[in-house]
Amino acid sequence: MNVVHVINSMSSTYGGSARATLLTVRGLNEQGVKAQVLTKQLLKGEIPLSNESFIHFLPLPRFYYERWGYAKAFPQALKSIHSVDAYHVQGLWQYPGYITANLARKEGVPYLITLHGSLYPEALAHSSLIKKTALSLFQCKMLQDAACIHTTCTEEMEHYRSLGFTNPVALLPYPMECSEKAEPSLPVGVKRFGYLGRIHSRKRVERLFEIWYRLNEPGELLVMGDGEPDYMQFLKNEVKRLGLQQVRFTGFVTGEKKNRLLASLTCLVVPSDFENCGLITPEALLQEVPVIATTGSPWQELETHRCGYWVNNDVDTLTEAVSKILNSDHTTLQEMGKRGRQLVLDKYAVGRVSEQMVQLYDWVTGKIDKPDFIYY
C-alpha cells in the first residue's frame, strides 16, 4: 500500500500535529506500508522534527505567506508520485491540504483528514472570520468529501458532527513512542511540578504561576517548551510580578533530555483550555509521572485508571488538585505512575495505533469490512 501524508510543517515547534504525523508514518513503514510525508521547507530559524528519508521538504516561493501556505511545489510533488492508494491530510485551513483533496478527487483516490483539534469551538473562535470564509469557500466540501475523518477522542468527533458533517469518522488516539523509563536529570526528593509543550496563550501556562503563588512556592516549577515570543515574555513578566523564585524556563526540549526532565517531576500539569489529545499527557505517564489535566482535554482516563486528576480548568480547582499531589506519600505517587505507564503501553503504543491505521486504510480502499473504531 502507498499512502501520502501532507502537512504544512514538520518543524520541531509545530506542536503535536507534527509529532503525531512523524510517529504515525514511521509506524506505518514498520508495518510494511509505503508511507511518506510532503511538507514545506523549514523557515529561517526552524529545526526539523526529523530528517528521516520518508519526509520530503518542498521549496517555497520567494514571497511566502504562512497563513495559507501556498507553494506550487505541492501539486508538482503530488503529481510526481504514482500508484497512490490513499492520501492523508494532516490539519485544515491551508493550501497543501486543499490541493491534495482536489487532486485526490480528480484521481478518484480516497483521502482522509486528521483534524488535530481544528474544529473545536475554541479553535474556530481564533481568526473566526477567516475560518468562516474558508469553510464556505472550500473547507466544508473538502471535509464532507473525505473518505474518513480521523479524530482522537469522542469529544472531537461530537464537535465535528455538530457542524452537520455526515461522513465516516475514525476514533483513534495519537501514537506514542514507548521507550524505557528515563533516569531523572535533576535531583530526586524535591517536589517538582512542570508544564511541557508549545507555549501558546490557549495553553494558559500563567495559571501555574498563580497556583505556585497561592501555595507559597512548595517546590520547583519547570516550564518546558517554546513558542509565541509575546506570550513567552508575558509569562516571564508574570513570574516577576508575583515574585516567584523557583520557576525555571528550560526552552524547547526533545528526545532523551525531555524524557529525563519529565522523569524528574513529581507531577505534570496541563492547564490548557482545550486539547484534542494532548501528547504531553501520555509522555509524562510513560515516565511514571502522575498528571493533572483539565476537562478541556480528553483525559478522563487519568481518573478511571487512577494515575492523575481530570479537573475543571479554573485556578481554584487546579490548586486543589496540586495540593492533593503535594500531600500524597511517595508510595502512592509511585503506584499512580506505574498505572499511568501501563495505560499508555496498552492503548497508545506506536505499534498498536499503526495496526489500526493500516486497518483504516484497508477499509477506505475497500479491502476489509468496517473496523469497530469507525463511526457513521
**Per residue of the chain (376 residues), what is the pLDDT tens digit?**
999 999 999 998 777 889 899 999 999 999 999 999 999 998 888 889 899 999 999 998 877 766 677 888 999 999 999 999 999 999 999 899 999 999 999 999 999 999 998 998 888 888 889 899 888 888 999 999 999 999 998 889 999 999 999 999 999 999 988 888 999 999 888 899 999 988 888 889 999 999 999 999 999 999 999 888 899 999 999 999 999 999 999 998 888 999 999 999 999 999 988 776 667 899 999 999 999 999 888 888 999 999 999 999 899 999 999 999 999 999 999 999 999 999 999 889 999 999 999 999 999 999 999 999 999 9
Q: Which candidate, 135, 175, 147, places its Cα nearest to that of 20?
A: 175
- Together in a domain, 14 and 163: yes
**Partners of 247 in beta bridges:** 221
Q: What is the CATH number of the domain that holds 9?
A: 3.40.50.2000
Answer whether 97's CB lies under 8 Å from 103's CB: no
Do the domain assignments include residue 363? yes
Structural domain boundaries, residue 343: 192-347
- Together in a domain, 315 and 362: no
Residues 6+ apart with CB under 8 A from 178: 286, 344, 345, 348, 349, 350
- Together in a domain, 162 and 80: yes
Question: Cα torsion at 43, 132, 143, 276 (round to 10°)?
Answer: 70
- Together in a domain, 368 and 291: no
- Together in a domain, 152 and 109: yes
- Together in a domain, 109 and 82: yes
- Together in a domain, 125 and 83: yes
DSSP at 109? -
Do the domain assignments include residue 73? yes
- Together in a domain, 230 and 90: no
Residues 6+ apart with CB under 8 A from 247: 209, 212, 221, 223, 239
- Together in a domain, 288 and 371: no
Do the domain assignments include residue 181? no
- Together in a domain, 210 and 335: yes
Q: Please count the CA atoms within 13 angstroms of the CA of 9 that sit on its side-chain side.
A: 17
Helices (H) and strands (E) in the chain, counts: 15, 14
Would you call 13 exposed, middle or buried from its count of C-beta atoms within 10 A (0-12, 13-18, 19+)? middle
Residue 239 CA, chain-centre distance (Å), reads 27
Q: How many domains does the chain have?
A: 2
Q: At 310, is the secondary structure helix, strand, or coil?
A: strand
Do the domain assignments include residue 183? no
